[in-house]
Amino acid sequence: MNRNANKINMGFWEKLPRHFFCLAPLADVTDAAFRQIISKYSRHGEKDGGPDVFWTEFVSADGLASAQGREKLVIDLKYSENERPIVAQLFSSKPENMFKAAQLAKELGFDGIDINMGCPDRAIERQGTGAAHIKDPKVAQEVIRAAQEGAPGLPISVKTRTGYNVNQIETWVPLLLEMNIAALTIHARTRKEMSKVPAQWDTIKRAVEIRNESGKNTLIIGNGDVKDIADGIQKAEESGADGVMLGRAIFGNPWLFDRTRDIDSISLEEKLQVMVEHTKLFETLLGQYKNFSIMKKHYKAYVQGFEGARELRMKLMQSNSTQEVEEIVSNFKRE
């Protein structure tokens, strides 16, 4: 089929392999510290390494649009050169604020901008954004257009769900494709389903068909219940998705995107060493801006499945600094 590509700014997206793998934006998880750890231990940029694309945590465009908010939130847009290509994920229902935030993302050197139109959090929805965009496609389109105009030259993408209360793929996807976005990530559940039911990957397959019928070259990325790279490859082949996004599988497993290693082959010694390294990096990069308690959800994931894990985990949950974590781990190794 002859695809109408001339209006779509694909940017880095057109250089990616098929099937490519992305790290999902997870609030208070995939921050600058954890992304650097993932980049190192998943061998990003190397043969059989990954991910192919990094996302920041989602950031409020409304906040970034004000001087006071920008000062507080810009830390969430911190990244390093070894994470490229890196996409800034923004959310807002106000086109004028999305325009300003997109301008900032371009100034900061991001490779692309992604707009969150799938977050089910009530506080986000009350602002008319996240999954609430599915109920108001006109505003959704205005927000996308604002990002495109605010950051000319940068590819704009969208992350969303299959629908709000019911599957709306047949109407929702065409409205997004109409905006000539470079990529569309679809979490294969509705907003109502949250994560309570299995992801419906047949909806990803249908989204690919709709894209093909439209003549657009927008890339379709599938998301939901992907256990590992092998599972992702299978889902991509069955659905026809161009790429796959992994989220929850990254917890406690920064080796996830390295196709040459399996989590079961990682020694306890290495897991604990990487956990301490992650903690040090968090304190160095983000310590003065973020609460140390953010690290504790990582400790729950790193420390499981071995003798003494529960006791070690309980001690780590009481820690408040890198020094304390190092001492706790050192004592555990001596026991």
pLDDT digits (tens, 9 = 90+) for 165-175: 999 999 999 99
Residues 224 and 117 in one domain: yes
Tokens coding 24 = 């999902």
Distance, in Å, from the CA atom of 87 to the CA atom of 15, rounded to the nearest integer, reads 15
Number of domains in the chain: 2
Residues 236 and 278 in one domain: no
Shortest CA distance to 187 belongs to which of 163, 165, 210, 211?
163
- The reply to whether 310 falls in a domain is yes
Contacts of 221 (CB under 8 A, 6+ apart): 22, 183, 184, 185, 186, 241, 242, 243, 244, 245
Distance, in Å, from the CA atom of 260 to the CA atom of 47, rounded to the nearest integer, reads 9
The amino acid at 316: L
Q: What is the 3-state secondary structure (H, E, C) of 127-175?
A: CCCHHHHHHCHHHHHHHHHHHHHHCCCCCEEEEEECCCCCCCHHHHHHH
Does residue 6 carry a pLDDT above 60?
A: no
Residues 134 and 46 in one domain: yes
- The reply to whether 141 falls in a domain is yes
Among candidate residues 250, 283, 316, the one where a domain is terminated: 250
Q: What angle do CA 94, 100, 102 make, to 5 degrees?
A: 95
CA dihedral 233, 237, 242, 247 (to 10 degrees): -40
DSSP 8-state assignment for residue 248: G
Residues 91 and 192 in one domain: yes
- The reply to whether 147 falls in a domain is yes
pTM of the entire predicted model = 0.95
**Mean pLDDT estimate for the chain:** 96
Residues 169 and 316 in one domain: no
Contacts of 95 (CB under 8 A, 6+ apart): 139, 142, 143, 145, 146
Distance, in Å, from the CA atom of 263 to the CA atom of 228, rounded to the nearest integer, reads 10
Residue 3 pLDDT grade (very low, low, confident, very high; cuts 50, 70, 90): very low
Residues 293 and 224 in one domain: no
Residues 107 and 212 in one domain: yes
Residues 125 and 160 in one domain: yes
- For residue 142, CA distances in Å to 42, 51, 95, 148, 280 come to 37, 31, 6, 10, 42
- Please state whether 86 falls in left (phi above 0), alpha (psi between -120 and 50) or beta: beta
- Check if 119 is active-site: yes
Residues 137 and 208 in one domain: yes
pLDDT in tens, 61-112: 999 999 999 999 999 999 999 999 999 999 999 999 999 999 999 999 999 9
Domain residues for the domain of 277 are 267-334
Q: Where are the beta strands (DSSP E) in the chain?
A: 20-23, 54-60, 86-91, 112-117, 156-161, 183-187, 219-223, 243-246
Tokens coding 237 = 């082949």
- The reply to whether 261 falls in a domain is no
Q: What angle do CA 131, 137, 140 make, to 5 degrees?
A: 70
Distance, in Å, from the CA atom of 202 to the CA atom of 311, rounded to the nearest integer, reads 43
Distance, in Å, from the CA atom of 195 to the CA atom of 188, rounded to the nearest integer, reads 10
DSSP 8-state assignment for residue 112: E
- The reply to whether 87 falls in a domain is yes
- pLDDT for res 126: 97
- pLDDT for res 5: 43
- pLDDT for res 196: 86
- The reply to whether 258 falls in a domain is no
Residues 229 and 193 in one domain: yes
Does residue 225 carry a pLDDT above 70?
A: yes
Among candidate residues 250, 277, 306, the one where a domain is terminated: 250
Q: What is the CATH number of the domain that holds 126?
A: 3.20.20.70
Residues 218 and 149 in one domain: yes
Residues 202 and 176 in one domain: yes
- The reply to whether 100 falls in a domain is yes
Distance of CA 219 to the CA centre of its chain: 16
- The reply to whether 278 falls in a domain is yes
Q: Point out which residues pair with 187 in neighbouring strands.
A: 161, 223
Catalytic residue among 86, 87, 119, 181: 119
- What average pLDDT does the segment 119-131 reach? 96
